[in-house]
Amino acid sequence: MHTTLSQDGAVLTLHFEDQSLRFHAIWLRDNAQDSETRAVGNGQRLIALRDIPKETHIIAASVAGEGVNVTFAPEGKQVVFSAEWLKAHAYDRPQNAVRGWLPEEISPWDAKLQASVPTGAFPRLVEGGTPFATWIDQVARFGFGKIEGGPVKEGALFDVVDLFGHVRETNYGEHFEVRTEVNPTNLAFTGLGLQAHTDNPYRDPVPTIQVLYCLESSAAGGENMVVDGFACARRLQAENPAYFDVLADHCARFEYAGEDGVCLTSRRPLIELAPDGELIGVRFNNRSLAAVTDVPFEKMDLWYAAYRRLGEIIDDPAMEVVFRLDPGEAFVVDNTRVLHARKAYSGAGKRWLQGCYADKDGLRSTRDALRRKALEAAE
């Protein structure tokens, strides 16, 4: 490994055996890991960009073991970077030009996942350790996970959320009941079957995690289904790129006004992409779709054809994983990605689930903290 500098000192190139990576001087200075730039312990920056001279450049760079010594002017500041850290955080790489790309830590799936549904035993998850780390990593990777062997008691779903985050309260309260009601405010509270959907698309921001916990399940039917919205969107794209693009390029509108004093609205595309084309979200809920007014007249026919085809793909049994929740069982679902559904159930017997919402940042934070701890232990 060795380094080279551009003539003006604006760019440092780090040459490894298998590749060469370029770094801008201003980027390196802003990401210095020394105690004057970053707080020891939490790693937060102690300076703002205004504290770094605009004319920052590199006047010297050298390799010492696994470190890279860099001297910045006009400050005359010397910083040692870990070569492995630079390699892990390199941005000098080809940009993904494909719309709808996914990071390596996300695995799209279809019905073939039926034989290996991410499942954890509640007592083992509470203990932490490897079983919990494995389960939460799979939930983040596949967008959902099942829990078995939990207590059969009201409010047990809060114990599930406590594993990784905090409850997000909505107009439904801290939690909601899912069982037959005589005059329901929401179709979810009837025995009707429900098309696979994401919850609360009319909220902004949408709840990113949903937990459903079973307390009673003696009614016939009512099996739960989950469908990977990312896999459906990518299948749509493979079949008809124009369908994918029109659903990603134009906003739909969603609305819920089922209670006095509540009128929730949002404006978001059915397929959501980051500016660099990463597929980051799917919103699909036929019950809550309002009049679509953000699609140009010339493309409305195309939008509806694409919407219909996406729904057909979502309804395809080849895309779904089905399981029944028994008392003391639950599932956690990434509500920005995975659609969930329920088959119809009979009026005989009882079916009672409790549900609540949480946020994905807590789940991802828990997973990443466990990963970091494991890496530190391995060093």
User: Which CATH number belongs to the domain containing residue 173 in this structure?
Assistant: 3.60.130.10
Name the DSSP class of 358: E
Q: Is residue 99 part of a domain?
A: no
The number of C-alpha atoms within 13 Å of 310 and in the hemisphere containing its C-beta is: 33
Work out how many domains the chain is built from and give that number: 2
Q: Do 39 and 125 sit in the same domain of this protein?
A: no
Q: How far apart are CA 367 and CA 163, in angstroms?
A: 11
Does one domain contain both 246 and 179?
Answer: yes
pLDDT at position 180 is 59
3-49 pLDDT per residue, tens: 999 999 999 999 999 999 999 999 999 999 999 999 998 889 999 99
Q: Mark which of 24, 53, 88 sits at the end of a domain.
A: 88
Torsion of CA 103, 116, 236, 335, to 10 degrees: -70
Please tell me the distance from the alpha carbon of residue 22 to that of residue 32, in angstroms, as a whole number. Answer: 16
Domain boundary among 40, 73, 88: 88
pTM of the model: 0.90
User: DSSP alpha helices (H): ranges in the chain?
Assistant: 25-30, 83-88, 122-127, 129-142, 156-161, 229-239, 241-249, 297-315, 360-378
Whole-number pLDDT of residue 191: 57
> Six-digit token pair at 90?
């390199």
Q: Categorize the per-residue pLDDT at 183 as very low, low, confident or very high, splitting at 50, 70 and 90.
A: very low
Tokens of 276: 């660099």
Of 57, 88, 119, which residue is a domain's last? 88
Q: How do residues 286-339 score in pLDDT, each as one tens digit?
A: 999 999 999 999 999 999 999 999 999 999 999 999 999 999 999 999 999 999
